[in-house]
A and B are shown apart, each in its own frame.
Chain A
Amino acid sequence: MKRRLLLSLITALTLWALPVQAADVFLLGFAGFDYESPDGNPGTYLSLGEGYKAVGFITSVGPMLTPYYDTDVNEYTFYLFNLTVTARFFDIPTQLLNIEFANNGRMRYFENDLAAGVNGAYGINPVNATTPSSFIDGTMVLGGDVDAFRLYYDFNFDQGGYSGAMDQDEGTYYTLGYVNPVSGWTLGGLLGRPNGSIPQGYDNQLSGECRIVPTATTQKTWGAIKKTYR
């Protein structure tokens, strides 16, 4: 009996000591094109006070949204907006542009019936008859506040990237509790110009994703947990 107890204890201690690695959780991936609006200084990319927007399509979803994602029936689109340039640094030796935006940008995801709805179409020189309108029709399934949004563009390598912090706070998936947690998501991706498929009037082809690092868990003994409830 004592031996069995000892073995159980050793097994429990071994399991307790195993490193449990929290992996990031993927919400969704997307691709599309970005543009400046309002674009008060068309000759300069993202001048102070200009607006930054992007439209496009969701390309895949992670486990939280998989049960609700059906591309045979629906089209899934996104719209990033309400981002205003507040600081702009251009480093001449490295040809690197570094842009800061005001908080309270917004990212929204939409579901639209493929047969009955208007399919997303970029057109040219946005804002136009289909952008953003054909990307924001249908049902807004998820949306959130985007803060600390930053963007860089390297004119030597013709590539750039962006990142921001996103808290989900609207849409049917939010209301129904499909996305949990709602705070602490990261929005990140690539900007790239050397791509002939960029429609006239758009700046970059962009792709990216929304993900979150799970909250770290604290390891405790059963004794300590029991003590919490005594």
Chain B
Amino acid sequence: MKRKIGVAASLALIAAGAFATGAFAQCNQGFYFKFDADAFAFEDNYTPATFNSAAGSQLVVVGKVSLFCAPFADLDASDPSKEYTFIWAGMTSIGTVHTPIAGGATRHNTDYNSGVFRIYEDTSPDAPTAVGGMPASPPNATVPGNFFDGTLILEGNLFNFVTTVTRFSNGNFATSFRGDYQFTGPIGGTYYSRVAGQLQDTMGGLWCAEGTANGLCDLPNGYSSHPNGKFDGPPVTSAQASTWGAIKQMYR
């Protein structure tokens, strides 16, 4: 009986984690989930013209997940009857460091103190999007509020969050962000149970700062940047060929 339960549970986990949505074909690259067009950041003390985040400035990021991969591939981010939104909050700027670089480039680097992230499943989609237009001057009536309604499905801590805006000598920009994260809950939750106990991993992506030059993003008033990125999963452990007999032996 126990064996039957074990087999059934294993099959259910495999089904939930791998084969639920067609979008899974676009995975296969080491991340748990990705966000693309619909993610936006704002701060209470940021100057777009100089890419300067003053020390103490509070950073908030809101967005919609565009793709879930294993072990969350049973969540369909493209289902129009739902939305999967997230918010990162509690991160305070340590201040931007502006550094001239060899070759005529300039780097604008900002570190932030630790914060938290939360992901929600909402069966009545109401978060504003890039296509519909993000309402200006956040915080406002829908930002960030409509990004943290619904059911909390995952949450955790963010550490070592850093953003970089680099201006090249030709006037083009390249941008990025990087951080570490760890899932912490919700305890007993369906999705958290799939990753509970995992150590810190990395998250990162494009950090398209407000501006009009090539490599920057022309954002509605009040937004400091448009992130496009992912939360990475742990590396896949290589498989070792074995026999049923050897496996049974391990449990005797």
Contact = CB atoms under 8 A, between A and B. Distances in A.
A191 B34 contact: no
B228 A57 contact: no
Given A23-B218, A152-B105, A188 B206 contact: yes
A160 B176 contact: yes
Contacts, number: 208
B205 A157 contact: no
A87 to B, nearest CB: 7
Q: Do most interface residues of chain A lie in helix, strand or loop, or is the interface mixed?
A: strand
Interface size range of chain A in the complex = 35 or more
B240 interface: no
A56 B31 CA distance: 13
B182 interface: no
Nearest to B221: A21
Given A73-B22, A94-B99, A197-B30, A190 B173 contact: no
Interface in B169-218: 170, 172-178, 202, 204-208, 212, 214-215, 217-218
A226 B220 CA distance: 31
B204 A98 contact: no
A53 to B, nearest CB: 16
Q: Which of A150, A198, A208 has the most CB of B within 10 A?
A: A150
A188 to B, nearest CB: 5
Contacts of B202: 192, 194-195
A157 B27 CA distance: 26
B178 A205 contact: no
A23 B40 CA distance: 12
Contacts of A120: 28
Contacts of B218: 22-24, 213
12 contacts: A21-B136, A29-B34, A62-B130, A62-B131, A152-B105, A154-B164, A159-B164, A160-B176, A186-B214, A190-B177, A195-B202, A211-B208
Given A29-B36, A152-B166, A189-B228, 4 more contacts: A57-B29, A152-B107, A164-B172, A198-B30
Interface of B: 21-23, 25-31, 34, 36-37, 66-67, 78, 99, 101-103, 105, 107, 109, 130-131, 133-134, 136, 162, 164, 166, 168, 170, 172-178, 202, 204-208, 212, 214-215, 217-221, 226, 228-230, 232-236
Interface of A: 21-24, 26, 28-29, 31-33, 56-60, 62-63, 70-76, 87, 89-91, 94, 96, 98, 100, 114, 119-122, 148, 150-152, 154, 157-165, 186, 188-192, 194-198, 205, 207-209, 211, 213
